[in-house]
A and B are shown apart, each in its own frame.
Chain A
């Protein structure tokens, strides 16, 4: 080559920090993404504090029924379930919000339980189910997508048709089918036994049903990566499949999967809540935002706060996850085409 040593450094080369650190710096510069992250942290911290709140602020167990419970009004105990004043005056209504953190802040549900405590406990489950099922979904989809896209041929045909079939189901219906059949059964999968009503079940179901949404773009990306020059160069240098997958394909697919993670978490939380709302997700006495909304539907016109509060929490969390996800996408993978931008 003819390029001499004369002074290429006349323009000081800017230090390149590597793709991950650059992306993280971009996320940190993005005010919306940072704000969303802060909101998420606050919600997560509050939900993690659920047992502390129930034991030390509310002094009431959030899961056992409290029909004969009382609360204090100006030092005088009053029943949590007050006699209904409407209609025939026969039924009972739980009390509404007192806006006193130690005293049924958001009121009680129809079993006299504290709604605020159940909201926080429910958040733990909703967040956990949403996140874990999103991880499961992304890992499975990454596996299926990369294998199908990389090896191609018959393996790809089988996997892709499988994805097509799964894709052809409206996701809610698929989740419902699986839930209906499985939710009351006791399953033995090798060493693990899932008892009926286990919380693992909705996690697995939700994790699986969204696999095609993520796997399809990953497969496409892997296929086009395989044709790219730098991968072909590695092939030419005699790299093994294992090395190619680990060194060339995976590092390039990973950002897409990470972009999907917060978005899938949001979708999965909404799906979980819908299933719980239909009583085929999280089973009582466990709580999730969906089950609390379901509890609240019966009280909708008398004590709307029971249903409104968890819905608002769900919406705020989903908005924060979506905005954070957008921030990550912009930073990591500006060209990502996400199906449905969901």
Chain B
């Protein structure tokens, strides 16, 4: 198990390195644009340009440039935005993290509970109307554009029905946990549900197909032959083996969302999370911030991948010795 974890950790570090190189190349080695001009912003003076060129070493060979960039980002931690002069990238990201974490963790709880209930209920209801009805909801969840759903939710709760049913909905934006758990949750409950719809749909569909597969396995027939109740067969045997797939999926999705894939939900609900930060820096063409955010994102995805591999080994005894 330890050797397994060690090998996986090494692979994760390698992937991170490769990603940082790739991001660097996307931004600094694509043809047709001067990277110094990009970092300095749109209307920078010649002096600023020269200054940027010197400080990032754009006159030096590519690998030196890469090294300098990484040094500014990770070692000196003083990479500064050139749109908001003087504001550093790292603190901006660390400020955005709690917002994104609040959004994603809450949504994850909702979608896991909902997805598993839907998947199990659909499997248990095979051959009745329950299964297709749940699955149609799943397909609709998968097919709704998240940002559009968010806008429609806003339309209803902030405007159309705000004076009647949804008077309790606070204005868009984030309230930190220090304002009290109730306020925090109240601000986040609609974003949570919006984000959870898509993933609940995906998880319900995957879980159902995995469980239906498991229900046809010999071990389920064996479990029934042992005289175990149908509920226990469903949960302890079919669900337990299907969870392996769900957990690995969850790790990847969770990592991606923490890493900024919740961008659309954050933009629509005005939450200043990592995704929104990326989006804003994108609008301003603030390359240092974009670079920082993307690398931060990649870091979380890779870490999530690593945890998934370990969870896999924990859930599925068969892979432990690989």
B64 at the A interface (CB under 8 A): no
Which of B26, B32, B139, B202 is most buried by chain A, counting CB atoms within 10 A of its CB? Answer: B139
Residues of chain B contacted by A321 (CB below 8 angstroms): 143
Known: A181-B26, A278-B279, A304-B155. A169 touches B142 (CB 8 A): no
Residues of chain A contacted by B298 (CB below 8 angstroms): 168-169
Residues of chain A contacted by B256 (CB below 8 angstroms): 170-171
A314 at the B interface (CB under 8 A): yes
Q: Are A170 and B27 in contact (CB under 8 A)?
A: no
Closest chain-A Cβ to B229's Cβ sits at a distance in Å of 29
Closest chain-A Cβ to B205's Cβ sits at a distance in Å of 4
Q: Are A322 and B143 in contact (CB under 8 A)?
A: yes
Select one of B18, B148, B264 contacting A172, CB under 8 A. Answer: B264
Write the B285-305 contact mask toward A (1 if CB under 8 angstroms, else 0).
Answer: 100001001100110011001
Closest chain-B Cβ to A127's Cβ sits at a distance in Å of 14
Q: Are B143 and A181 in contact (CB under 8 A)?
A: no
Residues of chain B contacted by A326 (CB below 8 angstroms): 139
Residues of chain B contacted by A300 (CB below 8 angstroms): 151, 154-155, 159
Known: A165-B19, A170-B261, A278-B279. A177 touches B140 (CB 8 A): no
Write the B249-279 contact mask toward A (1 if CB under 8 angstroms, else 0).
Answer: 1000000110111011001000000000011
Residues of chain B contacted by A315 (CB below 8 angstroms): 140, 143-145, 148
Closest chain-B Cβ to A191's Cβ sits at a distance in Å of 16
| Interface size class, chain B | 35 or more
Closest chain-A Cβ to B213's Cβ sits at a distance in Å of 8
CA distance A217 to B11 in the complex (A): 20
Q: Are A323 and B282 in contact (CB under 8 A)?
A: no
Q: Are B26 and A178 in contact (CB under 8 A)?
A: yes
Residues of chain A contacted by B1 (CB below 8 angstroms): none
Q: Are B32 and A314 in contact (CB under 8 A)?
A: no
Q: Which residue of chain B has the shortest Cβ distance to A278 in the bound complex?
A: B279
Write the B149-160 contact mask toward A (1 if CB under 8 angstroms, else 0).
Answer: 101101100111
Q: Are B142 and A168 in contact (CB under 8 A)?
A: no
Closest chain-B Cβ to A268's Cβ sits at a distance in Å of 12
Select one of B15, B148, B261, B297 contacting A314, CB under 8 A. Answer: B148
CA distance A170 to B155 in the complex (A): 28
Select one of B27, B159, B205, B249 contacting A301, CB under 8 A. Answer: B159
Q: Are A314 and B205 in contact (CB under 8 A)?
A: no
Select one of B22, B147, B148, B290 contacting A165, CB under 8 A. Answer: B22
B30 at the A interface (CB under 8 A): yes
Among A11-19, A59-67, A136-144, A269-277, the stretch that binds chain B is A269-277
A237 at the B interface (CB under 8 A): no
Residues of chain A contacted by B140 (CB below 8 angstroms): 315, 319
Select one of B19, B31, B143 contacting A318, CB under 8 A. Answer: B143
CA distance A172 to B294 in the complex (A): 11
CA distance A341 to B246 in the complex (A): 11
Q: Are B202 and A342 in contact (CB under 8 A)?
A: yes
Select one of A168, A173, A293, A322 contacting B305, CB under 8 A. Answer: A168
Q: List B291-322 residues whose CB lies under 8 Å from chain A.
A: 293-294, 297-298, 301-302, 305
Residues of chain A contacted by B149 (CB below 8 angstroms): 311
Q: Are B142 and A342 in contact (CB under 8 A)?
A: yes
Closest chain-A Cβ to B21's Cβ sits at a distance in Å of 9
Q: Are B290 and A341 in contact (CB under 8 A)?
A: no
A307 at the B interface (CB under 8 A): yes
Q: Are A341 and B209 in contact (CB under 8 A)?
A: yes
Select one of A188, A274, A304 contacting B147, CB under 8 A. Answer: A274
A161 at the B interface (CB under 8 A): yes
Which of A173, A178, A301 is most buried by chain B, counting CB atoms within 10 A of its CB? Answer: A173
Q: List A251-308 residues whose CB lies under 8 Å from chain B.
A: 266, 270, 273-274, 277-278, 280, 293, 297, 300-301, 304, 307-308
CA distance A337 to B18 in the complex (A): 29
Closest chain-B Cβ to A121's Cβ sits at a distance in Å of 18
Q: List B171-201 residues whose CB lies under 8 Å from chain A.
A: none
Closest chain-B Cβ to A86's Cβ sits at a distance in Å of 12
CA distance A180 to B18 in the complex (A): 21
CA distance A273 to B147 in the complex (A): 9
B23 at the A interface (CB under 8 A): yes
B33 at the A interface (CB under 8 A): yes
Known: A177-B27, A185-B30. A168 touches B290 (CB 8 A): no
Residues of chain B contacted by A301 (CB below 8 angstroms): 155, 158-159
Closest chain-B Cβ to A315's Cβ sits at a distance in Å of 5
Q: Which residue of chain A has the shortest Cβ distance to B14 in the bound complex?
A: A161
Residues of chain A contacted by B205 (CB below 8 angstroms): 341
Residues of chain A contacted by B5 (CB below 8 angstroms): none
Q: Are A169 and B206 in contact (CB under 8 A)?
A: no
Residues of chain B contacted by A82 (CB below 8 angstroms): none
Residues of chain B contacted by A266 (CB below 8 angstroms): 143
Per CB-CB distance, the 9 closest pairs between chain A and chain B, nearest first, are: A318-B143, A311-B148, A170-B261, A170-B256, A341-B205, A185-B32, A301-B159, A319-B143, A165-B18
- Chain A residues with CB under 8 Å of chain B are 161, 164-165, 168-173, 176-178, 180-182, 185-188, 266, 270, 273-274, 277-278, 280, 293, 297, 300-301, 304, 307-308, 311, 314-315, 318-319, 321-323, 326, 337, 339-342
- Chain B residues with CB under 8 Å of chain A are 14-16, 18-19, 22-23, 26-27, 30-33, 139-140, 142-149, 151-152, 154-155, 158-160, 202, 205-206, 209, 249, 256-257, 259-261, 263-264, 267, 278-279, 282, 285, 290, 293-294, 297-298, 301-302, 305
